[in-house]
Amino acid sequence: MTEKAYARGEDTPALLTETIGATLARTVEAHPDNLALIDAAADLRWTYREFRHGVRALAAGLLRMGVGVGDRVGVWAPNRYEWVFTQYATAEIGAILVNINPAYRQTEVEYALAQSEISVVIAAERFKDSAYATMLDEARAKCPDLREVVLFESARWEELIAEPSEDELARVAEIAASLSPDDPINIQYTSGTTGFPKGATLTHRNISNNGYLVGELLNYTDADRICIPVPFYHCFGMVMGNLAATSHGAAMVIPAPAFDPEATLRAVADYKCTSLYGVPTMFIAELALLDSGAEFDLSSLRTGIMAGSPCPEHVMRQVIDRMNMSEVSICYGMTETSPVSTQTRVDDPLELRVTTVGRVGPHLEIKVIDPVTGETLDRGETGEFCTRGYSVMQGYWNNPEKTAEAIDSEGWMHTGDLAVMARNGYAAITGRIKDMVIRGGENIYPREIEEFLYTHPDILDAQVIGVPDDKYGEELMAWVRLREPATDLTADDVRDFADGKIARHKIPRYVHVVKEFPMTVTGKVRKVAMREEAIEMLGQDL
């Protein structure tokens, strides 16, 4: 008898039923002298007592500025300690934090400011080649709701974080006590690899529970220190990193404003971090640094999270063996689900941690459906991954049409990801529905071919896309990054390597060698951009 591709998570541990501020207050009471936040680049650190006091001081400053419950406050900056204080201060007074992508350019930031009706932006003056202050000045004419910009480097910021009066602290406490866990607290814009991004609206209940439960499955305690090189503007940083830490009394460690493999491994060594986060490309860069002969004491590591995109098996094995991360976990999710839906467990066999994205998290449901009929498939069949439970967003900000397309009448979030669920309930993500290649009527899943290409001794990383073809409708093209000292790899080389190992229709017709892939700031490969560039290279038109 066949079993349907449906699974429900455990009912323990219990869900949190409080706001983010209330959880932080409880942690401070239990662990006041534990380190809460370390900014390695700024060489600054705060205990939990000091951190909460700074959070409440900033919350009081925002109230003095006229920020109220439900007002949208944008934060535009790379990873730095002020970002974290802003995250918790807005939650304390019920303002809705809008995460602005540090890589946004003028048109993109104006869209986010206007679409979410942001009234106040807290920002770095600049980052890399982006002059945020200048761009925000230019945006004012098109964003009538924007009334004030506060730069971290300004005297106005110093005024915001000034020592609050007792009356101001009492006002902060009064507002905090009036908030509901189901209040919206955060708007995160999707990566926007195609079209305008959509603002996923998340509540205290959504993100506080996701951070807490992810941390529970990693066995976090107040003794842990979590190195967070992934962006705060994304759920990976601010939820799986920050909220997982503060719900357990663990320390948040910021290695650098933007990802730097050397700064990351140095922070792990200097601050004795027990957990390290990253997308696969980050771990690949860190391993390459170790390959170059650089030495870091990583003996304090025991766990961490690899997420954002599927992990090559050989990378996962090296992370476990060479970086001491024996309890590393694979997580899968999306911004709209706060983000994690499935997670491998720390005691899972290695095979499950390198071939799946784990099983359903506590208090959640998952299923795999036929994308056309909506019927739940049998285990072992490939279809669309759907999830339901506390983690599903309220909806897309000011966009009921797109919300209805994503969340059905029964509360299921349709992810657009292709998945297969095994008999043991573990799921594997096989690609995006939109990335599936149909060659001569055959459905081909790029992930399968990418895993095969990783076995080539000269290939460091690989991405496979479909490009238009007059005969077959679509053909396969592999973009590859090479290991040194290799400098070139041809389609003939790949065909010779693949002959007899995979089916002929799965062997890429085209091979393109690159130094880097087009990426979003969260570390996701932009296959849409790759396809556009490939079509131009091949002289084809859609």
Distance CA 224, CA 220 (A): 6
Residue type, 436: M
Q: Coil, strand, or helix at residue 327?
A: strand
Digit-coded pLDDT (tens) for 34-74: 999 999 999 999 999 999 999 999 999 999 999 999 999 99
What does the pLDDT read at residue 194?
A: 47
Rg (CA), the chain: 23
Per residue, what are the HEC states of 357-424?
A: CCEECCCEEEEEECCCCCCECECCCEEEEEEEECCCCCEECCCHHHHHHHECCCCCEEEEEEEEECCC
Q: DSSP secondary-structure letter at 33?
A: T
CA-CA-CA-CA torsion sign (434, 439, 445, 446): negative
122, β-bridge pairs: 75, 150
Q: Which domains does the chain have, with CATH numbers?
A: 18-28+47-180 (3.40.50.980), 436-538 (3.30.300.30)
* Residues of the chain with confidence (pLDDT) below 70: 1, 191-195, 310, 521-523, 540-542
What does the pLDDT read at residue 542?
A: 41
* Model confidence, pTM: 0.87
Per the CB < 8 A criterion, the answer to whether 208 and 230 are in contact is: no
What does the pLDDT read at residue 540?
A: 57
What does the pLDDT read at residue 522?
A: 63
**CA contacts within 13 A on the Cβ side of 87:** 28
Distance CA 414, CA 396 (A): 14
Distance CA 393, CA 214 (A): 17
Per the CB < 8 A criterion, the answer to whether 96 and 120 are in contact is: no
Digit-coded pLDDT (tens) for 137-150: 999 999 999 999 99
8, β-bridge pairs: 365
Distance CA 245, CA 24 (A): 10
Measured CA distances, 518 to 134, 452, 478, 526, 529 (Å):
26, 21, 14, 5, 7
